[in-house]
Structure 1
Amino acid sequence: MEMTLKINSNTGHKLPTSFPSRRAFLHVKVTDGSGKVVFESGKVNADGSIVGADSDADRTVFEPHYDLITSEEQVQIYEMVMGNNLGEVTYTLLRGMTYKKDNRILPKGFDKTTAPSDFRVVGSAYDDVDFIGGSDTVTYRIGGLAGGTYTADTQLLYQTLGYAFAQDLFADSSAEAASFKSMFDASQIKTSQIASSSLSITGTGGSTPPPAAAACSDGIDNDGDGLVDMSDPGCKDVSDNDEFNKGRKNRC
Structure 2
Amino acid sequence: MKLSGNTIFITGGTSGIGRGLAEALHRLGNKVIISGRRTALLQEVTAANPGMDSITLDVTSLESIQAAARELIERHSDLNVVFNNAGFMPFDDVSGPVDDALAQDLIATNLLGPIRVTAALIEHLKTRPAATVLYTSSVLAYVPIATNAIYSATKAALHSYALSQRFQLRDTSVRVQEIAPPWVDTDLIYKSGDPRAMPLPDFIEQTLVALATDAPEVIVDAIRPMRDNPGAGEHALFEAFNQSLVENPIPVGA
TM-score scaled by structure 2? 0.31
Larger helix proportion of the pair: 2
Higher relative contact order (CA 8 A, sep 6+): 1
TM-score scaled by structure 1? 0.31
